Structure 1
Amino acid sequence: MRIAVLGLGEAGGLISADLAAAGADVRGYDPRVEAPPGVLNLKSAAEACTGAGLVLSLNSAADAPDALAEGLPGCAPGTIWADLNTASPAEKLALVDQAAGLRLVDVAMMSPVPGHGLLVPMTASGPDAAAFAEAITPFGAAVDVLDGPVGSAATHKLLRSVFYKGLAAAVLEATAAAHAAGLSDWLRDNITAELIKADAATLERLLTGSKTHAVRRIHEMEAAERLLDDLGVPARVTRASRDWLTDLT
């Protein structure tokens, strides 16, 4: 199996190296980064794609259309083009029309690549998602094939991002305020304890309790906003929480 990897940054470099170590014939291209050991470094996207049955696009959402346009001349009809970039469903769908003659697959990586490499959990969607999984799983990859169109994998990933990155933002804001108040250790211990004991009932309380107690919690978050203002900490998440609670009343 010859595999082309376009984009050899952190994710592309690790995944291409793992594919090569697992026995794949890997051709790589990146205008700024050299290929890792075991990966043949080529001078253009089209050259890297020549003869490849599978192409992995690991650039960025902004660069994905250009990578496709540059690689397309080297691709044979029916080549599987897997877009692994973090993009909106609409951006993924736009690639379908551009990928004339190719089998475009929407792939989302559901965890950070460092520490996982090729073993990073992936979800794939589109008519050729199963073909993508069949091509890459023999080298050790784990792919969850979704029953949905191109864009479905992106939707799953980004919904998770809203939660997880939003949670991270709330933790960053709260710990910054705690540091300013001289209560860092106390709040870190409190957050850790809450995360450890969280379960399905916790989620239900968050969903139902926010609506039931919205008015009281609006006042609570307004007080929290004033506290953060006094501490000199931007209350971005705090204000957003207040606005969501207001919408629930």
Structure 2
Amino acid sequence: MIDPRQWQVGLLGYGEVGRILAEDLRAQGVRVSCHDVKLEHAGHAAGLHGHAALHGVQLCATPGGLAAASDVLISAVTASQAVPAAAACAAQIRPGAFYLDLNSASPGAKQRAAHLVDAAGGRYVEGAVMTSVPPYRSRVPLLLGGLHAAELLEPLNALGFAARVASERLGVASATKMCRSVMIKGLEAMVIESFTAARHHGVEDAVIASLAETFPGIDWERQAAYFFQRVIEHGRRRSEEMLEAAETVREAGLEAWSASGTAERQAWVAAVADAGLFGARDAPGHARSSDWRVEADRLLDHLRRLHDTHGSPHR
């Protein structure tokens, strides 16, 4: 087996996850190339070029070009782009190259992506990232799935990942991730909704005291601050993930009421953030306060302004 440190790794997506993986792989001397659609937008391209230059990452103009140059492709795009990204790479993927799909997509979407990659001669492996990446970086708990998962496991872990094989059957790893997301992303949305409403009514301290009594193992102040910040920063991506989680629920024959509602709340916070309520999108520390009350007050002020302008609150 070739030393995985001799691989040419292609990263499809150069957002938060892509940049972290690029940094960790480059620290081991692994050759890394990347493509991101934001390279086509002047407002974002400069930051990507700067990061790439700092860490020795080669940027590719097209996903096909990235695929043609890579021994292993790691796809970390937004959930809605999981299948289009696979299609864009499949036409030029190297025969036998691994395609590790880390995107938060439904089992059905992963199966469609796998068909595209495998039919083109690649080796598709589904990946399910099981918690937030930044605290763990490349050692974030990772489930692998598919016929080629076992082949990729040892070399991937040799590069510093913390992967294990969930199943040879495609969809098992993704279903695990998506069903977890119904809970985790749903809790984010519920905390933002509950705590902001409680702040409006002046009962937030009583609500938190009651939650602490019922769930004594959770620091609700700290958890709320974290949830507000993550959704403000990544609400758009989270919303897309929850649309995939909703599809996962529907694949089981259930109406996805909770997952769909979570997607709407996450998208709403993202839209408010895009409007500049929490500061400039590219500013360091986009959620500018570690106090969830400050962020909730900004949401409430925003709603009051909408009410004054339009006569009814925007939900």
Structure 1 length-normalised TM: 0.73
Could you tell me how far apart the structure 1 residues matched to 2:174 and 2:137 are?
19
Q: Which of 122, 130, 136 is the equivalent residue of 2:150?
A: 130
**Match status 1:77 vs 2:95:** yes
Letter in 1 for 2:140: V
Could you tell me how far apart the structure 1 residues matched to 2:186 and 2:37 are?
33
Q: Which of 162, 168, 172 is the equivalent residue of 1:152?
A: 172
Alpha-carbon displacement from aligned partner over 1:94-148 (angstroms, at most 9, x marks no partner): 1122111111111011112223321221111111112222222112110121124
Could you tell me how far apart the structure 2 residues matched to 1:45 and 1:197 are?
45
- Kept in 1, the 8 Å contact 2:90–2:116? The answer is no
**Match status 1:180 vs 2:237:** no
Q: Percent identity of the aligned residues?
A: 30
- Kept in 1, the 8 Å contact 2:82–2:105? The answer is no
Alpha-carbon spacing, 1:143–1:176, altered in 2? closer, same or farther (3 Å):
same
**Match status 1:166 vs 2:172:** no
- Kept in 1, the 8 Å contact 2:12–2:74? The answer is yes
Letter in 2 for 1:94: R
Q: Which of 143, 155, 174 is the equivalent residue of 2:163?
A: 143
- Kept in 1, the 8 Å contact 2:10–2:32? The answer is yes
1:193, distance to aligned residue in structure 2 (A) = 4.0
Tell me the equivalent position of 2:31: 25
The runs of at least 4 consecutive aligned structure 1 residues that moved more than 6 Å come to none
* Partner-residue secondary structure (3-state), 1:175: helix
Higher mean C-alpha displacement, 125-134 vs 45-54: 45-54
Alpha-carbon spacing, 1:31–1:169, altered in 2? closer, same or farther (3 Å):
closer
Alpha-carbon displacement from aligned partner over 1:5-55 (angstroms, at most 9, x marks no partner): 111011111112211112211111113143532211122222222342211
> Unpaired runs of 5+ in structure 2?
1-6, 40-47, 219-315
- Kept in 2, the 8 Å contact 1:53–1:79? The answer is yes
1:72, distance to aligned residue in structure 2 (A) = 2.4
* Partner-residue secondary structure (3-state), 2:215: helix
Which of 1 and 2 has greater Rg?
1
Could you tell me how far apart the structure 1 residues matched to 2:10 and 2:213 are?
45
Q: Which of 10, 14, 28 is the equivalent residue of 2:20?
A: 14
- Kept in 2, the 8 Å contact 1:23–1:139? The answer is no
Could you tell me how far apart the structure 1 residues matched to 2:139 and 2:216 are?
26
**Match status 1:41 vs 2:59:** yes
Number of residue-to-residue matches in the alignment:
198
Q: Which of 81, 84, 87 is the equivalent residue of 1:63?
A: 81
Tell me the equivalent position of 1:112: 132
Could you tell me how far apart the structure 2 residues matched to 1:63 and 1:164 are?
22
**C-alpha RMSD of matched pairs (Å):** 1.9
Q: Which has the higher helix share?
A: 2
- Kept in 2, the 8 Å contact 1:21–1:38? The answer is no
> Unpaired runs of 5+ in structure 1?
199-249
Could you tell me how far apart the structure 1 residues matched to 2:113 and 2:194 are?
40
Letter in 2 for 1:154: S
- Kept in 2, the 8 Å contact 1:107–1:124? The answer is yes
- Kept in 1, the 8 Å contact 2:17–2:133? The answer is yes
1:89, distance to aligned residue in structure 2 (A) = 0.5
- Kept in 1, the 8 Å contact 2:22–2:32? The answer is yes
Higher mean C-alpha displacement, 128-137 vs 80-89: 128-137
- Kept in 1, the 8 Å contact 2:9–2:73? The answer is yes
